[in-house]
A = this chain, B = another copy of it.
Amino acid sequence: MEEKPLIFISNDDSINAPGLRRLVDCVKCLGDVVVVAPELPQSGMSSAMTINSPLRVKQYDDYNGAKMYSVNGTPVDCVKLPLHTFLDRMPNLVVTGINHGSNAGNNILYSGTMGAAFEGAMVGIPSIGFSILSHSMDVDFSHCAPHITNIARKILENGLPYRTCLNVNFPVGEIKGIKVVRTAISHWTEEYMKYTDPHGKDFYWLTGSIINEEPDCDETDLYWLDRGYATIVPAQTSQDATALIEPLKKIF
């Protein structure tokens, strides 16, 4: 009997996030599913990994036929550790999310959901990060569910080039269509709220909002998400700026 594909799931919102279970529901029809997610929320953890402290694995009750584990570390730890320890075969697909919050625009660099997807890509597994543009734990995933199944199925069938992955974002509510685009050049206003604690000492808390630096460009994720479309951005683990090698050789 042919072995079913193994689909590995992680996220950054923790083992308790509703989006994680909805992602299991979406891909269960495509193969065997194993979930390894952070024990605690890890938003904004990018590709951080745990080097200088011990990691522990906990197993939970199966959910909808999927094995469920947590690791007390980052999203990257949740991919690295099982792949090199307790998984008995290599996954055929890594899917992460469904993240509660946007990973479009320059969020991709800081996203723990995408950190886990990049880690899947790093070990040569086709990988996809899924996010919805709402931080609510009660957000309705019903409109994006069939798209997630379809995108995961197509990547399972077609694969992706070595060390590439997809960053998929969904608007809230009805979805007008899907656009394959690039990341909008964007930044956060990055305001910090300043407070004084009861002992008279100052502390800061990050806030802010994303600014699209090219709001009229219809080749970008932020443009189409604003207009009710889901977006697929192909991404890669490499951050090399190879076009600069020759010009820099003239300086150094």
Name A's B-contacting residues (CB within 8 A).
Answer: 41, 43-52, 54-57, 74, 76-77, 80-81, 83-85, 106, 108-110, 112, 115, 118, 122-123, 151, 154, 158, 160-161, 163-164, 166, 178, 180-183, 185, 187, 190-192, 194-195, 201-206, 232-242, 244-245, 248-249, 251-252
Q: Chain B residues with Cβ under 8 A from A185's Cβ? A: 163
B234 and A245 contact, CB distance less than 8 A: yes
Q: Chain B residues with Cβ under 8 A from A236's Cβ? A: 239-241
Q: Which of B108, B118, B237, B242 contacts A234 (CB 8 A)?
A: B242
| Tally of this chain's copies | 2
Instruction: Kindly report which residue of chain B lies nearest to residue A165, judged by CB atoms.
Output: B241
What is the CA–CA distance of A128 and B118 in the complex, to the nearest angstrom?
Answer: 23
B245 and A55 contact, CB distance less than 8 A: no
- CB A84 to nearest CB in B, in angstroms, measures 5
What is the CA–CA distance of A44 and B85 in the complex, to the nearest angstrom?
Answer: 20
Q: Chain B residues with Cβ under 8 A from A244's Cβ? A: 160-161, 164, 234
